[in-house]
Amino acid sequence: MLCLKDTFDEPDGVYLILELAPEGELFNLIVMKQKLTEVETRKIFVQLFQGVKYLHERNIVHRDIKPENILLIDKELHVKLADFGLAKIIGEESFTTTLCGTPSYVAPEILEQSNRRRYTRAVDVWSLGVVLYICLCGFPPFSDELYSPENPHTLSEQIKLGRFDYPSPYWDAVGDPALDLIDRMLTVDVEERISVDGCLEHPWLTGGEGGGSGSGNVNVNDSTDGLASAIGNLEFSRRKVRRERTLLSSINDVKIARVVDVQPDVQPVKVFEKNLGLLEERERQRELQLPQKMVESANGEMGSANGKNGKDDGKEMEVENGMEPRPADKRDPQEFMELGGRGDQQLFAGGDDADSVYPDLGNSTIAGGGGRK
């Protein structure tokens, strides 16, 4: 876990001083290397499984495990799990119902309708399974790019159905035990999904340096037709398929902008720039398109003056002022408020006897699920 070193309760907010992670996010490492070897991935996941086990033994569910929330402490791939903004304490036999997390990494039970949504600590195992998949191949198991007439399933449908495979040539060099572990972690049936303890006892981790390919040692279990496939009930039709996939490294641009020396005896801190060129290009394209949109806006206003329906005047005004309409502008606010469902504990008691030290929150109630205030 990323360590909390100190807190400062100031009039304008609470400041948290966290442990320093000089090597940045795991996401940056994956993008810069395209993918990780089995040896590298195994070293990282031993730590992640132990960290999540620590949380689950204390009835804490993280709910937002992804490469961006896994931080590298040093070049030896020591990692820390960070960002507990969506974490929650739950009872041993209880469940939670809030719709939260990052779409590509959420478990299928989180995507259920609010009146059927029931999930436990097992959602963290699913998210770790997605991260494990990405580390070994460089792209996510579930993606909108897989939608086609032959496979007419959206991202959420792929997740809820557990539809994913191990396309060639990206997975050809990865051993069977790794695929078997991913299969067990990305199991839709929560009762059948492997636990964190089961992950720590899995042959891919316990087999040592020879537990998977990429270690330099020969292991009979690494054969695609070996006994591991029969034991693990691994569907190798999913491994044989050939398909082009988009690597995260091809759609993300991560660079080390500078290295900051903190103290003589402390490892320098790397400052990363992520997708800076892409953002600049999007801004340039937006500026190029803006004059044309302004012309279209002017034509629309003329049409409205000639008796046409002017119901899009607000949108035209936004474009004319250099602002793009937001995707959620026409969404019913009540629908958004109900997305979270119910079940999370209140963070502030509300009323005149509220414990909050901040005047603007003293008479409010903030619920974790549903976004009500």
298 and 217 part of one domain:
no
On whether residue 327 sits in a domain, the answer given is no
Distances from the Cα of 286 to the Cα of 253, 274, 289, 320, 329, angstroms: 20, 20, 5, 13, 19
Q: Count the domains in the chain.
A: 3
- Alpha-carbon span 64 to 270, nearest angstrom: 24
Low-confidence ranges of the chain (pLDDT < 70): 91-102, 113-117, 208-240, 277-282, 289-373
- Which three-class secondary structure state does DSSP give residue 10? strand
Q: Are 185 and 126 in contact (CB under 8 A)?
A: yes
289 and 179 part of one domain:
no
- Alpha-carbon span 84 to 101, nearest angstrom: 11
On whether residue 270 sits in a domain, the answer given is no
CATH number, position 164: 1.10.510.10
167 and 313 part of one domain:
no
291 and 351 part of one domain:
no
122 and 237 part of one domain:
yes
286 and 353 part of one domain:
no
307 and 347 part of one domain:
no
- DSSP secondary structure of 225-291: TSHHHHHHT--THHHH-B-----HHHH--EEEEEEE---TTSPPEEEEEESHHHHHHHHHHHHHHHH
208 and 249 part of one domain:
yes
222 and 305 part of one domain:
no
Domain interval for residue 360: 332-373
Buried b vs exposed e over 117-127: b needs ≥16 C-beta within 10 Å? bebbbbbbbbb
28 and 104 part of one domain:
yes
- Alpha-carbon span 369 to 98, nearest angstrom: 5
- 240-290 confidence digits (pLDDT tens): 677 778 888 777 877 787 888 877 777 888 888 777 766 666 677 777 766
Sequence-separated (6 or more) residues with CB below 8 Å from residue 218: 210
On whether residue 313 sits in a domain, the answer given is yes
Expressed in angstroms, the distance from the first to the final Cα of the chain is: 30
Enter the DSSP assignment of 69. Answer: G
- Given 254, 285, 302, the domain boundary residue is 254
On whether residue 153 sits in a domain, the answer given is yes
* pTM for the full predicted model: 0.66
On whether residue 288 sits in a domain, the answer given is yes
- Which three-class secondary structure state does DSSP give residue 336? helix
- Residues belonging to the active site: 64
On whether residue 90 sits in a domain, the answer given is yes
Tokens of 255: 């660079």
> Would you state the pLDDT for residue 302?
53
Tokens of 118: 């029931």
- Alpha-carbon span 297 to 313, nearest angstrom: 8
Sequence-separated (6 or more) residues with CB below 8 Å from residue 309: none
- Alpha-carbon span 186 to 141, nearest angstrom: 10
On whether residue 127 sits in a domain, the answer given is yes
- Alpha-carbon span 128 to 135, nearest angstrom: 10
282 and 365 part of one domain:
no
Q: Are 51 and 35 in contact (CB under 8 A)?
A: no
Nearest residue to 109 via CA among 190, 220, 198:
190
On whether residue 261 sits in a domain, the answer given is no
286 and 361 part of one domain:
no
Nearest-Å Rg of the Cα atoms of the chain is 24
